[in-house]
Structure 1
Amino acid sequence: MQLQLRGKASGKTQIFDLEAKDLEKSVLDFLRERGTPMASSCNGRQQCNKCLFNTNKLGCATTIAELSHEKPPLYIEIDYL
């Protein structure tokens, strides 16, 4: 399974291969582990709302597993990349 990340401002796209161990990670942690910054001044405590993706989802509160229930391809869009 793969996850596609797109930056709105740059139009850049990155594709990540997903493994079973990634499913329980938050989107915020998953991207940070791969060297892709995602804004967050609260360090993932669901307080600042800066880690928004796909318009209305919080990266710190949404797991990769939750995304996998959506229709493929798995897709994340953030304001910058």
Structure 2
Amino acid sequence: MNVRVRFLPDDITVDAEVGEAILDVAERAGVFIPTGCLMGSCHACTVELEDGDIIRACISAVPLGREELVINVFSDPTW
């Protein structure tokens, strides 16, 4: 099952499969999400979903039951 993933603020859209890692989807779409530990501890890869939920892209996957997933990629000069 495919889910349309839209990355903001650049408004880049790509199709992804349920269960696919969000970092992999972003990389395939040419969207840079900074990473640090790749285990969710450092919070470098924090992104915000359209509904306001904050997730860490390195340990999150495309969820089941959605047609579209909107992800706001923060710009953090630290990373």
Q: So what's the TM-score if we normalise by structure 2?
A: 0.68
Which of 55, 58, 69 does residue 57 from structure 1 map onto?
Answer: 55
Structure number with the bigger relative contact order (C-alpha 8 A, sep ≥ 6) is 1
Count of aligned residue pairs for this structure pair: 69
Identical columns (%) = 14
Letter in 2 for 1:6: L
**TM-align CA RMSD:** 2.0
Task: Find out whether 1:4 has 2:6 as its counterpart.
Answer: yes
1:10-54, CA deviations, whole angstroms, 9 ceiling, x for partnerless residues? xx2111123xxx322221122123322101111x22221111111
Task: Find out whether 1:35 has 2:30 as its counterpart.
Answer: yes
Unaligned runs of 5+ in 1: none
Distance 1:79 1:46 in 2: 16
The alpha carbon displacement at 1:57 in A equals: 0.6
User: Higher strand proportion, which one?
Assistant: 2
Unaligned runs of 5+ in 2: none
Contact in 1 for aligned 2:13/2:29 (Cα 8 Å): no
Letter in 2 for 1:39: P
Letter in 1 for 2:5: L
